[in-house]
A and B are shown apart, each in its own frame.
Chain A
Amino acid sequence: MAKTHVSMTVNGQTVEGLVETRTLLVHFLRETLNLTGTHIGCETSHCGACTVDLDGQSVKSCTMFAVQAEGASIRTIEGMANADGTLHVLQEGFREMHGLQCGFCTPGMIVRAYRLLQENPNPTEAEIRMGISGNLCRCTGYQNIVAAIQYAAARLNAPAVQEHAA
């Protein structure tokens, strides 16, 4: 099958490749770029394990063709950690609040929560629950995921001076 050239920015790096037009974005990320942190839990957009951040929106990469991402800027779980390599405050929140068990939904959940907090920096519990309701988790019962996102929101909202004093 004929291949098409694609180019996009993934986690701050310009990447390119030759893909079939039917290649899904999630397969391009996982197979071509070897970014296997983005998972495939279904192929119908329902589970959210494949969620990535694309041009400022949460996108389920299992139902988007790689060619549709031409020129896009994408962030995956591999791009979540801070520049110095330490965990992003959301990742830290998931660890501190035991927001993960098997870990399979976690990358999609964190990437989704990242966008949620960009859209709504101080969400209520109900807004968090609704905001991540496109991402399925079978292990945690969601309570500690919600707590992890609250943890991150509190840290992100805290004045920087307090952050340093803590």
Chain B
Amino acid sequence: MDLPVDAAQMGVTRFGIGQPVSRKEDPKLLRGEGRYADDLNLPGQLHAVMVRSRHAHGRLLGIDTRAARAMPGVAAVLTAADLQAAGIGEMGGATAVRNRDGSPILRPRQLALCIDRVRYVGEPIACVIAATLAEARDAAEAVLADIDPLPAVTGARAATGPDAPQLHEVAPSNIALDFHYGDTAAVDAALASAAHVVRLTLINSRVVVCPMEPRSAIGEYDAAAERFTFRAGSQGVLWLRDSLASVFGLPVAKFRVLTGNVGGSFGMKIAAYPEYVCILQAARLLGRPVKWTDLRSESFLSDSHGRDHEMAATLALDAEGRFLALRLQGYGNLGAYLGNATTLPQTVNAVKNIQSVYATPVIEVASYSTFTNTSPVGAYRGAGRPEANYYMERLIEAASRQTGIDAIELRRRNHIRPEALPCDTAAGTRYDSGNFPAILDRALELADWDGFPARRAESRARGMLRGRGIGQYLEVTAPPSNEMGGIRFEPDGGVTIVTGTLDYGQGHASPFAQVLVETLGIPFERITILQGDSDELIAGGGTGGSKSIMASGAAIIEAGEKVIERGRQIAAHVLEAAVADIEFTTGPAGGRFTIAGTDRSIGIMDLAERLRAGITLPDDVPASLDVQHIHEHSPSAYPNGCHVAEVEVDPETGVVAVVRYVMANDFGVLINPMLVEGQTHGGVMQGIGQALLEATHYDADGQFLSGSFLDYALPRADHGPNFTFASLPSPARTNRLGAKGCGEAGCAGSLPAVMNALVDALAEFGVSHIDMPATPERVWQAIRGRAGSAGATPQRKGSGA
């Protein structure tokens, strides 16, 4: 597809594309009238509480539930045996990533409740259902699990060691996937001929996702219809429905999944979790709705974690600093089981995103995805996109130090030039649009790059160290998927958009309505969005991978065109003209069907009203304007940008503060710039959190030591500066809106910008690398030469270098 948008034609109306329209969701949310999963209670509902493993690894010798069953209010205590007796199968979804030999990924058995072995702290062992939450909690404490502890392993690389405990018999050396992409011989040859070879070992630290809303769900079963209804926060009800149906071994038609307001997710609420299976089975068994809500202290263990990769990154350069080859080799931590998106960051998304904005001719990515005695890892804001950009931008800074070529100049020499676009990359992607040198220039200008020495001197006068860092990035959004575009003209005069992407904080209703305003000229205030009901959808890929505005936007436009076609036929009848003579236009007066060359016309809302009032139409004319459409294969886009961070370090305490932050971004056409900017703010702050604050710790026994907001530092309001945002759009040519997707980009730019700035600040102490999270202790140690600086290993080759 190659359909450039005409930006000049957009945004001419107040609620059209490009306007900072306030969110339709806000009035309810601001009044406390949101409907999050835990806000709902159903008549007759019971309450579930999970019994979880306190050991990271061990043989489960037995579960004694007798005392719990005898306690007040207890309706049932489910164990693995109960689930198996009910015919419930294994957890887990599909993943298309394959081993280097072409064989499929290894998927060990995972049941919703442990049957013979526990493999991480927090793994569900039993589910207690009682009349009240307090009774369920009391009874859960009376369940006795007899666990014989085994040695544990928590590091992805350590898990492959000869002495490492084995988690799953089917996975020797704990390896689930041996992934490889690229031409090893070509990379070897490039390294051999290179003037400079730069090597870094980079840890992409594990994070706990921590949306502010803990997971919560209610399961119901209609025995007469033999059908489940499941209510929970999610990122797409069809994904969740299909996963649940797979675990139960039932047709998807036997499940209805409903999602109301979602209090954040960032990738974490995609999956069908063990708790969901338990409460659905309990509802079927007991004939009553069963509700479950996680405590935050459980969430730290029971939610999928993010990131956790260890990579050796190698960049080969010629004498002029041009990139010749890039190699990434390492490990990705899966946790104890295989989740849906777990392998993406260290495999295909590493390949696609490490290419970034640079013309590196050959790349190679090789990684082992391994099982460890830790909470399962899932998608987290970017799922490999921020990681890969972090590796690349750290490599460039290290290369600058090693070659003596200025880091900005290095970037400029290697940018894919705008005149070279569209172009195919070594990653197998095809960049359609962008202006990477201009983005860098704009970011440097916003950052007042040249004014830095004065600011550093001022910091120095206060006894503070100051550093600056660049994070130029490019992301490849989600792979092609189908998306529904439904448009319904309601009896009350409203118009409903039905689509399968799901807003869990982004605020889809206004931008989607803006697209419909632009397409059909329907008044903004008449438009509502319907999401989160699997019975209403005929297709839908959910939200993830920064794709919703492209996927749902295109689906809405195409559906709108079908509405116009139907409308022309109906209007022709109403206006007593030939269909061929009916034109559709949008303008200040809204969408209108007009007989060409005349002033006879009817507005689209008036036409809908006439249909509602009842008119007799011939059989060959559509009876309504309503459309259910499926947009097919919404392609990936290539959002990119450049962030510049400045940090101040207190050398006495090791505390790092981000004191200046600017970004220039190319998200293509912005449908609603206010929301786009808000997305980047949140993404940047999550990146600052990972870079400086959010430390996860497992001890040698696999106990999780950072399991509360007291132990795990989420960024707070006094941790961030204000962020300066600029948009430098090169409209995407892969979708009809020209949009590029912005949800994950904040993390992709901020991880390298902040860490490069920190290394710059510490350069005078001989620090050439420090790993995330750069907590005060780690920084303090690095300043004192004790840790954290073992990164770059200079390897200068050739006589002229």
Interface locus among A2-10, A63-71, A124-132, A155-163: A124-132
Is A61 in the interface zone, CB < 8 Å from B?
no
Complex Cα spacing A43 to B266, Å: 22
Is B681 in the interface zone, CB < 8 Å from A?
yes
Closest beta carbon of chain A to B713's beta carbon, Å = 10
Is A76 in the interface zone, CB < 8 Å from B?
yes
Other-chain residue from B41, B714, B746 in contact with A136 (beta carbon distance below 8 A):
B714
A4-28 to B contact mask, C-beta < 8 Å, 1/0: 0000000000000000101000000
Closest beta carbon of chain B to A37's beta carbon, Å = 2
Interface locus among B26-34, B311-319, B760-768: B26-34
A46-B708, A103-B263, A144-B678 as given contacts; A37 in contact with B34, CB under 8 Å: yes
Interfacial chain A residues near B264, Cβ < 8 Å: 101-102, 104, 138-139
Closest beta carbon of chain A to B25's beta carbon, Å = 7
Dominant secondary structure at the A interface: loop
Other-chain residue from B29, B38, B675 in contact with A106 (beta carbon distance below 8 A):
B29
A102-B262, A103-B263 as given contacts; A132 in contact with B213, CB under 8 Å: no
Contact A96 B22 (CB under 8 A): yes
Interfacial chain B residues near A35, Cβ < 8 Å: 32
**Which chain A residue lies CB-closest to B685?**
A141
A136-B709, A138-B210, A140-B681 as given contacts; A44 in contact with B30, CB under 8 Å: no
Is B84 in the interface zone, CB < 8 Å from A?
no
Complex Cα spacing A43 to B297, Å: 8
CB contacts under 8 Å to A, within B385-437, are none
Closest beta carbon of chain B to A41's beta carbon, Å = 5
Is A114 in the interface zone, CB < 8 Å from B?
no
B666-690 to A contact mask, C-beta < 8 Å, 1/0: 0000000011011101111110000
Is B505 in the interface zone, CB < 8 Å from A?
yes
Interfacial chain B residues near A154, Cβ < 8 Å: none
Complex Cα spacing A107 to B210, Å: 18
Interface locus among B122-130, B361-369, B595-603, B716-724: B716-724
Contact A133 B717 (CB under 8 A): yes
CB contacts under 8 Å to A, within B170-223, are 210-214
Is B36 in the interface zone, CB < 8 Å from A?
yes
Is B459 in the interface zone, CB < 8 Å from A?
no
Interfacial chain A residues near B214, Cβ < 8 Å: 40-41
Contact A107 B32 (CB under 8 A): yes
CB contacts under 8 Å to A, within B1-54, are 22-23, 25-27, 29-36, 38-39, 41
Contact B709 A42 (CB under 8 A): yes
Complex Cα spacing A145 to B395, Å: 35
B694-729 to A contact mask, C-beta < 8 Å, 1/0: 000000000000001110001111101011000000
Contact B506 A101 (CB under 8 A): yes
Closest beta carbon of chain B to A20's beta carbon, Å = 7
Complex Cα spacing A53 to B295, Å: 23
**Which chain A residue lies CB-closest to B263?**
A104
Interfacial chain A residues near B212, Cβ < 8 Å: 39, 41, 47, 49, 102, 104-105, 136-139
Closest beta carbon of chain B to A63's beta carbon, Å = 12
Contact B682 A106 (CB under 8 A): no
Is A38 in the interface zone, CB < 8 Å from B?
yes
Closest beta carbon of chain B to A6's beta carbon, Å = 17
A76-95 to B contact mask, C-beta < 8 Å, 1/0: 11101100000100010011
Complex Cα spacing A140 to B716, Å: 11
Contact A130 B718 (CB under 8 A): yes
Contact A104 B213 (CB under 8 A): yes
Is B488 in the interface zone, CB < 8 Å from A?
no
Is A151 in the interface zone, CB < 8 Å from B?
no
Contact B261 A103 (CB under 8 A): yes
Q: How many residues of B contact A (CB 8 A)?
A: 58
Contact B714 A141 (CB under 8 A): no
Closest beta carbon of chain A to B34's beta carbon, Å = 5
Contact A106 B718 (CB under 8 A): no
Contact B678 A38 (CB under 8 A): no
Interfacial chain A residues near B685, Cβ < 8 Å: 140-142
Complex Cα spacing A107 to B295, Å: 19
Is A146 in the interface zone, CB < 8 Å from B?
yes
Closest beta carbon of chain A to B119's beta carbon, Å = 26
Complex Cα spacing A125 to B39, Å: 33
Most buried by A among B682, B714, B720: B682
Is B507 in the interface zone, CB < 8 Å from A?
yes
CB contacts under 8 Å to A, within B504-562, are 504-507
Is B134 in the interface zone, CB < 8 Å from A?
yes
Complex Cα spacing A91 to B28, Å: 11
Interfacial chain A residues near B254, Cβ < 8 Å: none
Is B98 in the interface zone, CB < 8 Å from A?
no
Contact B32 A143 (CB under 8 A): no
Closest beta carbon of chain A to B681's beta carbon, Å = 4
Interfacial chain B residues near A126, Cβ < 8 Å: 718
Complex Cα spacing A46 to B214, Å: 14
Closest beta carbon of chain B to A82's beta carbon, Å = 11
Interfacial chain A residues near B36, Cβ < 8 Å: 36, 39, 104
**Which chain A residue lies CB-closest to B33?**
A37
Interfacial chain A residues near B710, Cβ < 8 Å: 44, 46
Contact A98 B717 (CB under 8 A): no
Complex Cα spacing A31 to B36, Å: 14
A102-B264, A104-B36 as given contacts; A42 in contact with B296, CB under 8 Å: yes
Interfacial chain B residues near A128, Cβ < 8 Å: 717
Contact A46 B297 (CB under 8 A): no
Closest beta carbon of chain A to B544's beta carbon, Å = 15
Is A59 in the interface zone, CB < 8 Å from B?
no
Contact A43 B263 (CB under 8 A): no
Other-chain residue from B261, B262, B714, B717 in contact with A145 (beta carbon distance below 8 A):
B717
Closest beta carbon of chain B to A117's beta carbon, Å = 15
**Which chain B residue lies CB-closest to A90?**
B30
Is A100 in the interface zone, CB < 8 Å from B?
yes
Complex Cα spacing A76 to B640, Å: 42
Is A110 in the interface zone, CB < 8 Å from B?
yes
Other-chain residue from B714, B718, B720 in contact with A138 (beta carbon distance below 8 A):
B714
A40-B214, A133-B716, A137-B212 as given contacts; A94 in contact with B30, CB under 8 Å: yes
Contact A44 B32 (CB under 8 A): no
B639-683 to A contact mask, C-beta < 8 Å, 1/0: 000000000000000000000000000000000001101110111
Interfacial chain B residues near A110, Cβ < 8 Å: 30
Most buried by B among A78, A105, A138, A142: A138
Complex Cα spacing A131 to B210, Å: 22
Complex Cα spacing A136 to B719, Å: 11
Contact B682 A101 (CB under 8 A): yes
Interfacial chain B residues near A137, Cβ < 8 Å: 212, 717
Interfacial chain A residues near B297, Cβ < 8 Å: 42-44
Contact B722 A143 (CB under 8 A): yes
Other-chain residue from B25, B708, B746 in contact with A42 (beta carbon distance below 8 A):
B708
Complex Cα spacing A130 to B716, Å: 9
A102-B211, A129-B718 as given contacts; A141 in contact with B27, CB under 8 Å: no
**Which chain A residue lies CB-closest to B725?**
A143
Interfacial chain A residues near B746, Cβ < 8 Å: 141
**Which chain B residue lies CB-closest to A27?**
B133
Interfacial chain A residues near B25, Cβ < 8 Å: 103
Contact A91 B213 (CB under 8 A): no
**Which chain A residue lies CB-closest to B689?**
A138
A-B residue pairs in contact (CB < 8 Å), sample of 13? A30-B39, A31-B41, A36-B35, A44-B296, A44-B708, A78-B32, A101-B678, A104-B212, A133-B716, A139-B505, A142-B716, A144-B681, A145-B717
Given contact pairs A40-B293, A102-B262, A104-B261, enumerate 16 new A-B contacts (beta carbons under 8 Å).
A38-B32, A39-B213, A41-B296, A44-B297, A46-B710, A87-B27, A95-B30, A100-B30, A101-B506, A104-B36, A104-B263, A125-B722, A139-B264, A141-B682, A143-B681, A143-B720
Chain B interface (Cβ < 8 Å from any Cβ of A): 22-23, 25-27, 29-36, 38-39, 41, 134, 210-214, 261-264, 266, 293, 295-297, 504-507, 674-675, 677-679, 681-686, 708-710, 714-718, 720, 722-723, 746
The 7 nearest A-B residue pairs measured at CB:
A37-B32, A104-B263, A102-B505, A103-B29, A46-B709, A141-B685, A141-B681
